[in-house]
Amino acid sequence: MLFEVWAPGAGRVALQWAGDRSDEPPVPLEPAPGRPGWWRAEAPARDGDRYAFRLDDGPPRPDPRAARLPEGPGGPGAVVEHAGFAWRHPWPGRPLPGAVLYELHIGTYTPEGTFDAAAARLGHLSDLGITHISLMPVCPFPGTHGWGYDGIAPWAVHEPYGGPDGLKRFVDAAHGHGLGVVLDVVHNHLGPSGNHLPEFGPYFTDAHHTPWGAAVNLDAPGSDEVRGYLIGSALGWLRDYRIDGLRLDAVHALHDDRAQHFLAELSAAVDALAAQLRRPLFLIAESDRNDPRTTAPRASGGLGLHAQWNDDFHHALHTALTGESHGYYADFARDPLAALAKTLTGGFFHDGGHSSFRGRRHGAPLDLRTTPPHRLLAYAQTHDQIGNRAHGDRLTAALSPGLLACAAALVLCSPFTPMLFMGEEWGARTPWQYFTDHPDPELAEAVRAGRRREFAAQEGGAAHGDGLDADWPDPQDPATRDRCVLDWAEPSAAPHAALLSWYRTLLALRRTQPALTDPDPSRTRLTHDASARWLLLRRGPVHLAVNLASEGTSTIPVGPAGASRFEAVAGWPRPLYPEADGTLHLPAESAVVWVGDGAADGVGDGVGDVP
């Protein structure tokens, strides 16, 4: 077996066996011909053999490209023979257009917190109408439980979840249910605990900084190899684990001043692999830039990514539902329904105008005629938007079932690719709080203190004195993680079962009504009344009306009498039809969807009409 490693500053490199082979002598590596900084050696090895590298007779360090770290971050790696895994389900792939994603955290989806336990619950998602599971990061991180964004080994799989074979079993099971799998990967930083990459080479740079630590070296000397390291990791997930797409965490923190941006290089490599494997592969960016170039084709000067999260949609919807106005919600809260209307019809809210939160202009216009709407992800809740609240409270904690139903309808009938956060579909009451399991006491206390400062600065922190001594959830307390585990008794109990049925109905409509995945933006029209708090979204023959008011019945002008033939209808709490005079009388905190022949499409009353 070939062992190789990039260590440009080393004078000597040796392969050090560990585990059952720890008594065997080290194997010296030789410089690789034609590959400056690379070392290599052939040595007999089999799946599971443990090993590390020693640089200049120093202590053993894990292989930066180890696919398995059975003893966790900083420990020796283990050989993984990917070709030896017995896949059961042939998989042609599942593209992003028409998809519905479901964000899932392996460690809290079930009490066991493993790939195998999560796989046993996949039938729920296929029955619901989900098309793709979006896994939060699964690379090794300190301890047993955590969000995964402080991983240190981007080629490996967290051992407590089940390691590489556990991930493969999960993906194979998902494919058996007809579900694609998207994996969240973090390229903008790596966690500090057990991170020995700086000993091997210039993986990090002082030229740039991130909120989470040293910036990854994408443009300084040595960055060719660092970029290759990250791209190789990304292609490995798609090839060796049969993952269908990657969600790229916080790409705005990928600092790169080179002529070809790292993301353009990555997207080109993924497109080439898709052509080679003959199945669709895609990249989804998390970006706060509101930059159309993120998903624009590389040939047009864009980065060539296939989609991006759209926080503007979330913020507009959140303010319309909750009335919150602190922090980055302030701009949206001035006129929440107008903000929601703008995002539903134009994609971005911040499209070059002033952002009070940032104190400057932000974003650029997005042309949905050239950028298909499926390239934006729409959601009411995510791990970030829940977990970065002081108490990790979901919308369930603040909203009535009726408003939760309205939120579901607006997400699932939007022109964009919908995404749900696990448990959202039944209105889970379990919180989603920030939790860690750092074994280093100093790092653990630093995390506690940092979260206390962050929580105290949030809206309402002043109600607890100075905020720093308030009873905020302790990230290091195992009970914090335990509170976040989904309660699988809820979906069959009231009031959760009714909401779950509503999600199933909406997802079935999305599958069966082509208008709901129609990429033509001219087929989407929207009317709203900010004072009465109702909104009417028309997508071809599909009409969605929501009344977000807390009381009273709204009279919504739908169209002329007899304009549409009704083919299907769904409603919360019950289905309703427009009257013969073309008006709909919609009670407070309710929603209705009906499908007609489209003859009334484009008809409005001039109140907040958005073409």
pLDDT surpasses 90 at 568? no
User: Which candidate in 172, 286, 291, 425 is catalytic?
Assistant: 286
Which residues partner with 77 through β-bridges? 51
Beta carbons within 8 Å of 237's beta carbon, 6+ residues apart: 183, 185, 243, 246
Instruction: State both tokens at 76.
Output: 């020796």
Instruction: State both tokens at 163.
Output: 């390691």
pLDDT surpasses 60 at 469? no
Percent over 70 (pLDDT), the chain: 95
For residue 209, the model assigns a pLDDT of: 85
Which residues partner with 30 through β-bridges? 40
Query: What would the pLDDT profile of 265-312 be if each residue is shown by its tens digit?
Result: 999 999 999 999 999 999 999 999 999 999 999 999 999 999 999 999
Active site residue 286: yes
User: Which candidate in 184, 244, 249, 351 is catalytic?
Assistant: 249
State the pTM of this model: 0.95
* d(C-alpha 178, C-alpha 221), whole Å: 44
pLDDT category, 577, cuts 50, 70, 90? Answer: confident
Active site residue 20: no
Average pLDDT of the residues in 436-449: 91
By the 10 Å C-beta count (0-12 exposed, 13-18 middle, 19+ buried), 231 is classed as middle
198 CA to centre of own chain: 28
Supply the DSSP symbol for 314: H
Q: Is 266 helix (H, G, I), strand (E, B) or coil?
A: helix
50-55 and 77-78 strand pairing:
antiparallel
State the average pLDDT for the chain. 93
Compute the chain's Rg from CA coordinates.
25
Query: What would the pLDDT profile of 365-381 be if each residue is shown by its tens digit?
Result: 999 999 999 999 999 99
For residue 462, the model assigns a pLDDT of: 41
Going by C-alpha positions, the residue among 17, 20, 21 that lies closest to residue 54 is: 17
- Return the H-helix or E-strand segment holding 273: helix 262-277
* 115 within 8 A of 170, measured Cβ to Cβ: yes
Tell me the residue ranges of DSSP E strands in 21-169: 27-28, 30-31, 38-42, 50-55, 77-78, 101-104, 132-135
* d(C-alpha 220, C-alpha 257), whole Å: 9
307-309 and 376-378 strand pairing:
parallel
Query: What would the pLDDT profile of 532-554 be if each residue is shown by its tens digit?
Result: 999 999 999 999 999 999 999 99
